[in-house]
Amino acid sequence: MEKVGKQPDLLKKKIAEYKEKLVKLINDCNQVYLTTHLNEDYDAIASIGAMALICKRLKKAPYIVVDQEDFDSLSVEKSDMYESLRDKNFIIINLEDFKNNIVENSLLIVLDTNKKYLTPLKNNYEDFSNIIIFDHHNTDSDTIKTKNKFILPDMVSSTSEMMFWLLKSMRINPKDKLYKNLLLTGIILDTDDKNKNTYESTLRSYIELNNPLNIDKEYVDMHFSTDYESDRRVQHLVDEMQWITMRFGISVDNSMVYTKEEVAKAADYALKYTAEAIITCGKAEDGGYNVSARSKRGNMNLAAMMSILNGGGGNDYNASCSPLYPKCDDLDAEKEEILRRIKNILYLRSRRKKPNNSK
10-residue averages of pLDDT along the chain (359 residues): 56 96 98 95 97 97 95 91 96 95 96 94 93 95 95 94 97 95 96 88 94 92 87 96 86 95 92 88 96 84 90 86 94 96 80 40
Whether the pTM exceeds 0.95: the reply is no
Tell whether the torsion through CA atoms of 154, 156, 160 and 162 is positive or negative.
negative
Nearest Cα residue to 224 out of 94, 359, 77 = 77
What is the maximum alpha-carbon separation in the chain? 70
Taking the mean position of all CA atoms in its chain, how far away is CA 338? 24
Count of CB atoms situated within 10 Å of the CB of 104: 9
Nearest Cα residue to 223 out of 72, 112, 80 = 80
Q: Strand order of the sheet with strand 130-135?
A: 91-93, 63-65, 31-36, 106-111, 130-135, 148-151
Residue 4: predicted pLDDT: 45
Nearest Cα residue to 341 out of 310, 312, 314, 317 = 310
Q: What is the 3-state secondary structure (H, E, C) of the chain?
A: CCCCCCCCHHHHHHHHHHHHHHHHHHHHCCEEEEEECCCCCHHHHHHHHHHHHHHHHCCCCCEEECCHHHHHCCCHHHHHHHHHHHHCCCEEECHHHHHHHCCCCEEEEEECCCEHHHCCCCCCHHHCCEEEEEECCCCCCCECCCCEEEECCCCCCCHHHHHHHHHHHCCCCCCCHHHHHHHHHHHHHHHCCCCCCCCHHHHHHHHHHCCCCCCCHHHHHHCCCCCHHHHHHHHHHHHCCEEECCCEEEEEECCCCCCHHHHHHHHHHHCCCCCCEEEEEEECCCCCEEEEEECCCCCCCHHHHHHHHHCCEECCCEEEEEEECCCCCCHHHHHHHHHHHHHHHHHHHHCCCCCCCCC
Cα–Cα dist 92/200, whole Å: 35
Residue 358: predicted pLDDT: 37
Residue 66: predicted pLDDT: 97
Cα–Cα dist 226/287, whole Å: 25
Strand partners, 93: 65
Residue 7: predicted pLDDT: 62
Residue 247: predicted pLDDT: 80
